[in-house]
A = this chain, B = another copy of it.
Amino acid sequence: MVTRAGAGAAVAATAVVALLSAALALYRPPLDAVLERAFSLRKVHSIKDMENTLQLVRNIIPPLSSTKHKGQDGRIGVVGGCQESLRSAPYLEHSHCRETAGITYTGAPYFAAISALKVGADLSHVFCASAAAPVIKAYSPELIVHPVLDSPSAVDEVEKWLPRLHALVVGPGLGRDDVLLRNVQGILEASKARDIPVVIDADGLWLVAQQPALIQGYQKAVLTPNHMEFSRLYDAVLRGPVDSDDRHGSVLRLSQALGNVTVVQKGERDILSNGQQVLVCSQEGSSRRCGGQGDLLSGSLGVLVHWALLAGPEKTNGSSPLLVAAFGACSLTRQCNHQAFQKHGRSTTTSDMIAEVGAAFRKLFET
């Protein structure tokens, strides 16, 4: 779907749901008009547009080959996980976790890491606080769990694994403990220095809202905020409230203000932008909003981002590989939700959704 605005502002025609040249963003009123017009056409074109974009996702998926070794299809690391605990827990006496004010999760990093594996990564690591490690390990023997995130040498411990990782997912179950966040800051800096793609979610986004400079202009970062996280980020970066009538423009502007970092705003429909294009993912999901779905999204996105960068823009018809990867992860998460809801209805949990990853992946990307 191609739209035009202003004299000579040509919009390149790629098969995305909505495509807007970055130049358009300079003209506020025309941009809004264009966006509105673009998305008013969405209903007519949505099925075809979705299908065209899904085809781009299919293009980035590496063929399985019997000559490959373990690890070649993806080694993903998840940074997060700190068991909430109290001063009364004596075995955590020396752990920084006990001072955490906010609640923290072991489920979130597990969901993200196991999702990465089920999407097709060969190996999935979790870098978490020491107290969280036995719990996360106990969820599944499939994961490699490193109890390092609250260690004084956390950054070094993660950094020595970076050469062996294709992508990092930062934030699931991270919490807001100062020591952990300082370590995560170091891990993000080390990842940038090595040009490793990072997906940032949950309290990883809280950290970015405190210090946008951490990912400013880093072209291999993808942020996956929900409604609240998006507002906080937007306010931190653009110093003003989000225009709730203009979700598409808001996502576009936040991405641009961050130096074209890819932003995925999760919601009833997911709005995605890299500051140049805006995509809308309206793959049918369900109305079930159980906690943990965002971890399925971030974990699968970790794999898809790696595959997309490996494939390169020639496989995505000129669109940003990261944007195509994000569209793939959004579609997959929604399809998992849809399938799980068909079976389990209101009782659907994120574990039910993760059990659908294989079938949902085949349905969307291997037909």
Contact = CB atoms under 8 A, between A and B. Distances in A.
Nearest to A129: B89
Contacts of A357: 347
A156 to B, nearest CB: 11
Oligomeric state, in copies: 2
B90 A144 contact: no
A125 to B, nearest CB: 8
Contacts of A343: 358
A198 to B, nearest CB: 21
A107 interface: yes
Nearest to A89: B130
Contact of A358 (B118, B146, B347, B366): B347
Interface in A287-315: 287-293
Nearest to A88: B151
B94 A153 contact: no
A120 B346 contact: yes
- Interface footprint category on A: 35 or more
A119 interface: yes
Interface in A122-161: 122-123, 130, 133-135, 137-148, 150-153, 157, 161
Interface in A78-131: 83-86, 88-95, 103, 105-108, 110-111, 117-120, 122-123, 130
Given A71-B289, A343-B358, 17 more contacts: A64-B288, A69-B226, A70-B291, A83-B133, A83-B134, A84-B146, A86-B153, A107-B140, A107-B141, A122-B290, A139-B141, A140-B351, A141-B292, A142-B292, A345-B366, A346-B362, A348-B358
The 3 residue pairs across chains A and B that have the minimum distance between CB atoms: A347-B358, A107-B141, A64-B287
